[in-house]
Amino acid sequence: MNLSKLTPSVFSHLYKDIVEFRLTFDLPVEQPESLDQAADTLHTSLAIEELTELADATDKTEQADAIIDTVYVLMGRLVHLGDDAPEKNIGISYLIDLLLNVAEHRQIDFIPCWNEVHSSNMSKVCKNQEEYQATEQFYAQQGIRLLPVEKGHYIIAKCAEDFSNDEKTIRKGKVLKSVNYRPADLEPLTK
């Protein structure tokens, strides 16, 4: 099968980023045996959610966001399974290639948009102790206790115990965003 956009170099770039994301957030990497029914259902529901967002998108920025997020989810499944080359899971690779073609047809420069979303996703974790302390203070003011979890060069701020108030419920172990988190800004990349 000829994949016209999912070249080996593009695949490698995406795979490397998803490995970084999944290792940082304690998600399975190259552990096909851990893809049980619950994990399979989660991957599928996330992909459906993102494809629905693509169908509902009303402008190029929303389309770019939905395409990137769908590829992020599909690549997450490949990394989970350890399918580290397009030919190892041609079905998912074909879907990704289709999405890359859709991006091109919509004049969306996929890689810069991907890089922006990945950078935003990685900004959810703290880069150093100072950033973690500022994050801990921020959540403490809301009555939320944190537990620091060091992963590689990052510190993940996790909820230390179940928290609930009138506005929200946060379960123990949930990853909470760093005070330096920034949402992806695809607007300048999609004009």
DSSP for 28-85 reads -SS-GGG--HHHHHHHHHHHHHHHHHHHH--SHHHHHHHHHHHHHHHHHHHHHHT--S
Q: What is the mean pLDDT of the chain?
A: 96
Q: Do 31 and 76 reside in the same domain of the chain?
A: yes
In the chain, the number of structural domains is: 2
Residue 26 is predicted with a pLDDT of 87
- What is the amino acid identity at position 21? F
Residue 142 is predicted with a pLDDT of 95
Name the strand (E) or helix (H) holding 21: helix 8-24
Q: Do 39 and 105 reside in the same domain of the chain?
A: yes
Q: Do 90 and 14 reside in the same domain of the chain?
A: yes
Q: Is 21 domain-assigned? A: yes
Q: Characterize the bridge pairing of strands 154-159 and 175-176.
A: antiparallel
Structural domain that includes position 165: 129-176
Residue 34 is predicted with a pLDDT of 96
Q: Do 86 and 54 reside in the same domain of the chain?
A: yes
Q: Do 54 and 135 reside in the same domain of the chain?
A: no
The pTM of this model reads 0.90
Q: Is 191 domain-assigned? A: no
| 133-137 CB contacts, 8 Å cutoff, 24+ apart | 134/179, 134/180, 135/176, 135/177, 135/178, 135/179, 135/180
Give residue 83's pLDDT band: very low, low, confident or very high (50, 70, 90): very high
Q: Please give the residue that has the higher pLDDT: either 165 or 68.
A: 68
Q: Do 64 and 93 reside in the same domain of the chain?
A: yes
Residue 112 is predicted with a pLDDT of 99
